[in-house]
Amino acid sequence: MHAHTRLSTRLAAVGAMFVLTLLCGLIPAPPAWTATEQPKLPEPRKESISIADAVLRALQQNLDITISRQTKASRLTDIIFEQAKFDPTLSFNGQYNRQVQPLNRPVFGFSAADLTKIQTFDQNSAGITADLTQNLMTGGNYDLNYSPQRTFVAGQNTFLFNPGWTSGLALTLTQPLLKNFGTDINKTFIAVAQNNAKVEEHVFTDRVLTVIATVEQTYWEVVFVNENLKVAQAALKAAEELLASNRAKAKAGVMAIVDVLQAEAAVASRIEQVIIAEKAIRDQEDQFRRLLNPSEEELRQDIQLIPVDQPVKSLEPLSLEEAIDVALKMRPEVLQAGKNTETAELNTKFAKNQLLPNLAFQGTGGLAGLGKDASDMFSRNFGGDYYNYGAGLVLSYPLGNRSAWSQYNKRQLEGRNAQVSLQSVRQQVIVGVREAVRRVQTDFKRIETTRSARIMAEKQLQAEQERLNVGLSTTRFVLDFQRDLATSRGNELRAVVDYNKSLSNLARTKATTLERYKIELQ
């Protein structure tokens, strides 16, 4: 009985030693899933980039900005189109005519008093007409006409001059006195075209600000993923050091094998986090490079962008009232809505003018001349001996005038809508600025709190590591504190990056981004 018990005890001891030897033999071997056994990819070409360089590259090659720039240029042509309506028009008309007609009655200066047979009346005439017309800013228009002509009648005649040269100089002026009177009314569509060009300029500015803000936000995300990889690598290094220490202790027989297994599992988990962090970097870099609008060939290349700008960690002085005032003065949406209001007022004023009767002054005057040749004709034409003039008023008014009244009512509604839109945009800007300022203040407070949490996590890990060294703690507790420290570092990093993104958002909300980079839009 006792012999059987001693044999069983010896077999159990031998079995335990065999299992322990087997496990101890497994301890030095690294896990099968370590990163060192992963196939190595070719190293990407590294390229350092600052946030200012990224902004400039994005602005120079952004397709949306190119389209907006061309649209803005097309609005400038609308101004020229409206101004061209007041350009003078010069026209020339030259004619030659010959008429050979049978006479059925006497023609003074050509035939005798009585006709005894059919006579042929052969007349040749050649002339040119020069005409200059122009619409005036006052609403009127003028027509200046000069028409010299040479006439020759074949055969015997008693004309004073044959060939004879005649000419006439005539000026006709029409000026509205009620409807369409005044430079302000007649410049309405020029002013509207100018406002539309300004609106498109504000749209262009808004797109530029949006591009810059997007680049900044993405840039700081690239900073975050790069720094987050360092956090993951630090956590992996700490886990590997703990694993090496546990293996040495287990080999010396002062630590249980379960502590080694826990450390190995933690290393495997940290390796996974490093791999995920590396992938996040490449994904974020691709998104960032896309914003820079590279060529397709360049986008195919494997380039690693290294951000050189460090995030700001200090609190910038903020004044809510000042930020709101700046935003209301600079925001493209507010300026655009203001221009739309001005346009609505111009259209309403013009529509109101169209309700008036059409009362116009018409005046005409001219000079005439007759000579034996062109020089004689010209001198007699401008000698002032032969002239004509006249003046009158023309009044017209459509009964009911429903078309003008309907347009006036429509323009009034558009004006009220424009005012409401402007008020709505201003309210949105004020609320947006308040939220942006709060976000900056909140994210800065997050930096302080996450920094405190990270410092406490470091102290807790250090204390727990010392407890483990003297046998008062376990590997599991140390790994938990390592994980908490990595989380705290990640939270602090996220708070710093979010703070810088909030500063970018505040600058975008105030529309002061261009001033930060000293960019002037031509």
Identity of residue 247: R
For residue range 483-497, list pLDDT tens digits in order.
999 999 999 999 999
What is the model's pLDDT at position 520? 79
Q: DSSP letters along 169-237, please?
A: EEEEEEEESSTT-SHHHHTHHHHHHHHHHHHHHHHHHHHHHHHHHHHHHHHHHHHHHHHHHHHHHHHHH
pTM over 0.85: no
Per-residue pLDDT of the chain (522 residues; tens, 9 = 90+): 444 444 343 333 333 333 333 334 443 444 444 444 555 656 778 889 999 999 988 888 777 777 777 777 788 888 999 999 999 999 999 999 999 988 777 776 776 667 778 878 888 999 999 999 999 999 999 999 999 999 998 877 778 888 899 999 999 999 999 999 999 999 999 999 999 999 988 998 999 999 999 999 999 999 999 999 999 999 999 999 999 999 998 999 888 899 899 999 999 999 999 999 999 999 999 999 888 888 778 778 888 888 999 999 998 788 999 999 999 999 999 999 999 999 999 999 999 999 999 999 999 999 999 998 989 999 989 988 899 999 999 999 999 899 999 999 999 999 999 999 999 999 999 999 999 999 999 999 999 999 999 999 999 999 998 998 888 888 899 999 999 999 999 999 999 999 999 999 999 999 999 988 888 776
User: How many residues can be counted in the chain?
Assistant: 522
Q: What is the dihedral of CA 289, 298, 294, 50, to 10 degrees?
A: 50
What is the model's pLDDT at position 470? 84
Q: DSSP letters along 252-278, please?
A: HTSS-HHHHHHHHHHHHHHHHHHHHHH
Report the DSSP pairing between strands 303-307 and 45-49: parallel
Burial classification of residue 344, based on how many CB atoms lie within 10 Å of its CB (0-12 exposed, 13-18 middle, 19 or more buried): buried
- In sequence order, the β-bridge partners of residue 102 are 120
- The CATH number of 33-75+191-343+416-514, from 3.30.420.40, 1.20.1600.10, 3.30.70.1400, 3.40.50.2300, is 1.20.1600.10
Identity of residue 133: T
Q: Indicate the helix (H) or strand (E) that contains 520.
A: none
| Calpha distance 375→382 (Å, rounded) | 11
For residue range 423-460, list pLDDT tens digits in order.
999 999 999 999 999 999 999 999 999 999 999 999 99
Residue carrying the six token digits 């020339």:
92
What is the model's pLDDT at position 39? 56
- The alpha carbon of 478 is separated from its chain's Cα centroid by a whole number of angstroms, namely 53
For residue range 38-76, list pLDDT tens digits in order.
556 567 788 899 999 999 888 887 777 777 777 777 888
| Calpha distance 227→230 (Å, rounded) | 5
| Calpha distance 305→439 (Å, rounded) | 28
| Nearest of 498, 490, 33, 460 to residue 232 by alpha carbon | 490
What is the model's pLDDT at position 42? 66
| Calpha distance 83→80 (Å, rounded) | 5
Contact 212, 517 (CB under 8 A): yes
What is the model's pLDDT at position 12? 39
